[in-house]
């Protein structure tokens, strides 16, 4: 279990998610949490439970992708003694254990078609039947499920039951990828630095502005989890208590230059090299100034130049520098 049950973020998309969670938590509505890997789906599910009237009752996570298909049914619904080889005694399933509380069906897209039918029945009748039992019993369980797959697409392809899909997604909660809410990166960095600093008794590790800019610009395919793991590693490995650009992994360090600066193209007629190089240089300078909010000292550091050299380049420039005054958008 995670130490924090708070979804951190000030981006409007996160505000929207928190607002939605608050509104649906107090109902018994079934929620489907959607989002890429590491966007906080499990955190959101725990939040739905924590803010509900069921908070004092159990929250039971079931990873439908990690449990072998032939075991999942008895894991979920329990089994009677002797109902299959190895079933020595009767055992309650996750649904019985979650009674009064919430069951979290993670990676729901991985559930077998046979089990999908059985789950649908539970959602309709609020009754579960253990494997090998001849009677069902009533349960009061709120179902929250999650997937990083495109479940609607799976329905279209006939891989997931449409009727179950509609039952599960009464309230869809979409978690945005981190790259769509980059403005939350500094906040998350602070949060994870604080968390991991607690594990180091000797120093408080900090991060330079410049390194933070790189974290801001990076694409984060593994989303918040990737950021969290990276910061944990950086805090543990930091020797002088400051995280600098040099300490960042190569893919994060090179991301800006590889992805943000358009590559010059040579047409059939060739190109004016001096002019092309100058344009390329100007673009990088503008980018550095934009990222440092116009701070020439910091921009020069980003570019590996002395401040005076950068100032001279700016003076020589035709048309003058273009400095975006803010780091807008995501």
Ligand X SMILES: Nc1ncnc2c1ncn2[C@@H]1O[C@H](COP(=O)(O)OP(=O)(O)OP(=O)(O)O)[C@@H](O)[C@H]1O
Site string (53-72) toward ligand X, x via CB under 6 A: --------------------
Is residue 37 a contact point for ligand X (CB under 6 A)?
yes
Is residue 224 a contact point for ligand X (CB under 6 A)?
yes
Q: Please identify, among the stretches 41-49, 167-175, 223-231, 246-254, the one whose residues bind Mg ion according to the rule CB under 5 A.
A: 41-49
Is residue 39 a contact point for ligand X (CB under 6 A)?
yes
Is residue 47 a contact point for ligand X (CB under 6 A)?
no
Give which of Mg ion, ligand X, none residue 91 binds (C-beta under 5 to 8 Å, depending on kind).
none
Is residue 9 a contact point for ligand X (CB under 6 A)?
yes
Give which of ligand X, Mg ion, none residue 43 binds (C-beta under 5 to 8 Å, depending on kind).
ligand X
> 30, 33, 40, 42: which one contacts Mg ion (CB under 5 A)?
42
User: How far is residue 41's CA from residue 97's CA, in Å, rounded to a whole number?
Assistant: 22
Minimal distance, residue 116 CB to Mg ion, in Å: 20
Site string (227-246) toward ligand X, x via CB under 6 A: -x------------------
Q: Which is nearer to Mg ion, 42 or 169 (CB)?
A: 42
Minimal distance, residue 285 CB to ligand X, in Å: 34
Interface with ligand X in residues 146-165 (CB under 6 A): 148
Q: Which residues bind ligand X (CB under 6 A)?
A: 2, 7-9, 35, 37-43, 148, 224-225, 228
Q: Which residues bind Mg ion (CB under 5 A)?
A: 42
């Amino acid at each position: 279990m995670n130490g924090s049950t708070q979804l951190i973020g000030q981006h409007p998309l996160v505000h929207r998610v928190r607002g939605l969670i608050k509104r649906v938590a107090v109902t018994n509505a079934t929620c489907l949490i959607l989002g890429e890997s590491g966007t906080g789906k499990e955190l959101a599910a725990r939040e739905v439970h924590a803010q509900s009237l069921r908070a004092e009752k159990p929250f039971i996570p079931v990873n439908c992708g990690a449990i072998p298909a032939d075991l999942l049914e008895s894991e979920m619904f329990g089994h009677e003694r002797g109902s299959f080889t190895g079933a020595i005694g009767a055992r309650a399933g996750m649904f019985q254990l979650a009674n009064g509380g919430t069951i979290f069906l993670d990676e729901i897209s991985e559930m077998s078609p046979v089990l999908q039918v059985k789950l649908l029945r539970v959602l309709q009748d609020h009754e579960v039947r253990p494997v090998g039992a001849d009677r069902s019993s009533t349960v009061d369980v709120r179902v929250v499920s999650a997937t990083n797959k495109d479940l609607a697409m799976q329905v279209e392809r006939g891989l997931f039951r449409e009727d179950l899909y509609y039952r599960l997604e009464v309230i869809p909660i979409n978690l945005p990828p981190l790259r769509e809410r980059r403005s939350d990166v500094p906040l998350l960095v602070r949060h994870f630095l604080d968390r991991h600093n607690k594990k180091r008794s000797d120093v408080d590790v900090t991060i330079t502005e410049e390194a933070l800019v790189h974290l801001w610009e990076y694409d984060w395919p593994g989303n918040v989890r990737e950021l969290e793991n990276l910061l944990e590693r950086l805090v543990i490995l930091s020797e002088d208590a400051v995280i600098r650009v040099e300490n960042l992994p190569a893919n994060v360090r090179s991301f800006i230059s590889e992805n943000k600066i358009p590559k010059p193209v040579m047409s059939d007629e060739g190109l004016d090299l001096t002019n092309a190089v100058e344009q390329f240089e100007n673009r990088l300078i503008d980018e550095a100034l934009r990222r440092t909010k116009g701070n020439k000292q910091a921009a020069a550091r980003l570019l590996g130049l002395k401040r005076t050299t950068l100032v001279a380049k700016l003076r020589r420039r035709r048309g003058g520098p273009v400095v975006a005054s803010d780091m807008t958008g995501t």
